[in-house]
Amino acid sequence: MKLEGEDVQYEKLNEAIRTGRFVRNSIIKAWMNGEIKSRNEAYKYCKNLADNPEFPWAKKLNSMARQAHAERAWSAIERFYKNCKANVPEKKGYPKFKKYQVRVSVEYKTSGWKLSEDRRYLTLSDGFEAGTFKLWGSRDLHYYQIKQIKRVRIVRRHDGYYAQFVIDHTREEKKDLTGKQTGLDVGLNHFYTDSEGLKVDNPRFLRKDERKIKKLQKRLSRTKKGSKNRIKARNRLGRAHLKVSRRRNDWVCKEAQRVIQSNDLVAIEDLKVRNMVKNHHLAKSINDAAWYKFREWLEYFGSIYGVPLIAVEPKNTSQNCSNCGQKVSKTLSTRTHKCPHCSYEADRDENAAINILQSALKQLSTTLGRRESNISGETGLCLDGETQTGKLARRKRKSK
């Protein structure tokens, strides 16, 4: 987000940036002289710098910002130690002093700055008194709570000054134990069926959107190549895809949160999404994209609420009997599972969901501690992101 302010304000940003570099270089120097031997000592050294009357500017920089720059310095030192330990040949990256560069930044943590209520103005309130800047392109900030912003970086580039907001995705929320665990089976008829037989359907708007996209696709295919109408039609289709993917993403996000909040363990099939999305059948591809997003949100909320999400090999989950384990072959049109071996009877999808839950528990007991889902702190998830169908749509359009 670009910062708009007066020249005097930019000059103050320069001072802040310079001070950030000063802190970093001072730490490196102190380390070289053997005055600092740990991260903690680096923090303490920051305070010494600020209290030293020789460097009046050091005090002006917000104290947490000073720490942030000490952290940067210490990270460079640690990187060097690590490379030495691992005996990386040639470049070990001995920490160097940073010289003047155009593209540099100063980093604030949770204090020293303030966002306006409407998130259109950023005020820097530390000793440099750079004041209030208008933010350009701050729309995305509305999706986050201010307390989720962990760092603000002021970056100087060739064409001006920018603010980067570092959002903390590693949220943790309290959740009471529900005493419940569930397996989910996905399908085309229902968005999913859980191991207790509950069916959740695709929302009606998805079907409606699907019809609309079909119509727009047809319209596009009727236009002449290279014509103005074709460009218009393509734009319209692209926007429709975007709108659909946003709406769908909102829906699956809420659904995933609900599932995670009401269970202590969730089991799903480990479907290979890449292959799924390639499918040419529109309804299926939309459904697959929704399922893919749903899984991402399940992983995300699972990590937030501390609910394990186990992905199991999709092998015979719909064929085997969840009661006795025997294989009971059935075609896609067989909606009810009737076991000739133990005479167990259940809805086809419910039987599959139970199988999924059972193999998840089995997997968990044999490979304890190994998780199939790849949870990382920083997910690419946000409520307004371009989702799978967006990309899919582009690919489809290209191939046309």
Whole-number minimum distance, CB 334 to Zn ion, in Å?
15
Calpha distance 216→4 (Å, rounded): 41
User: Which DSSP letter does residue 116 get?
Assistant: -
Segment interacting with Zn ion, rule: CB under 5 A, options 186-194, 222-230, 288-296, 321-329: 321-329
Return the C-alpha torsion angle 34, 36, 37, 41, nearest 10: 160
Q: Is the dihedral of CA 13, 14, 18, 24 positive or negative?
A: positive
Whole-number minimum distance, CB 271 to Zn ion, in Å?
25
Whole-number minimum distance, CB 329 to Zn ion, in Å?
13
Is residue 112 a contact partner of residue 126, using CB atoms and an 8 Å limit? Answer: yes
Nearer to Zn ion, 285 or 355 (CB): 355
Whole-number minimum distance, CB 180 to Zn ion, in Å?
24
By CB under 5 A, how many residues form the interface with Zn ion?
A: 7
Calpha distance 174→166 (Å, rounded): 23
Nearer to Zn ion, 125 or 319 (CB): 319
The answer to the question of residue 330 lying near Zn ion (CB under 5 A) is: no
How does strand 309-312 pair with strand 265-269? parallel
The answer to the question of residue 342 lying near Zn ion (CB under 5 A) is: yes
Q: Angle at which helices 204-222 and 282-305 pack, to 10 degrees?
A: 140
Buried b (16+ CB within 10 A) or exposed e, 118-154: ebebbebebbbebebbebeebeebeebeeeebebbeb
Whole-number minimum distance, CB 333 to Zn ion, in Å?
20
Whole-number minimum distance, CB 346 to Zn ion, in Å?
10
> Which residue of 163, 256, 321, 357 would you call a contact of Zn ion, by CB under 5 A?
321
Question: Which string of DSSP letters, residue by residue, matches 160-172?
Answer: EEEEEEEEP----
Nearer to Zn ion, 28 or 346 (CB): 346
> Which residue of 223, 257, 323, 363 would you call a contact of Zn ion, by CB under 5 A?
323
Nearer to Zn ion, 219 or 338 (CB): 338
Nearer to Zn ion, 320 or 388 (CB): 320
> Which residue of 290, 339, 352, 393 would you call a contact of Zn ion, by CB under 5 A?
339
Sequence-distant (6+) residues with CB within 8 A of 64 are 108, 109, 110, 111, 112
Which residues, 76 to 115, sit near Zn ion by CB under 5 A?
A: none
- Cα atoms found within 13 Å of the Cα of residue 93, Cβ hemisphere only: 16
> Which residue of 10, 57, 80, 344 would you call a contact of Zn ion, by CB under 5 A?
344
Residues at the interface with Zn ion (CB under 5 A): 321, 323-324, 339, 341-342, 344
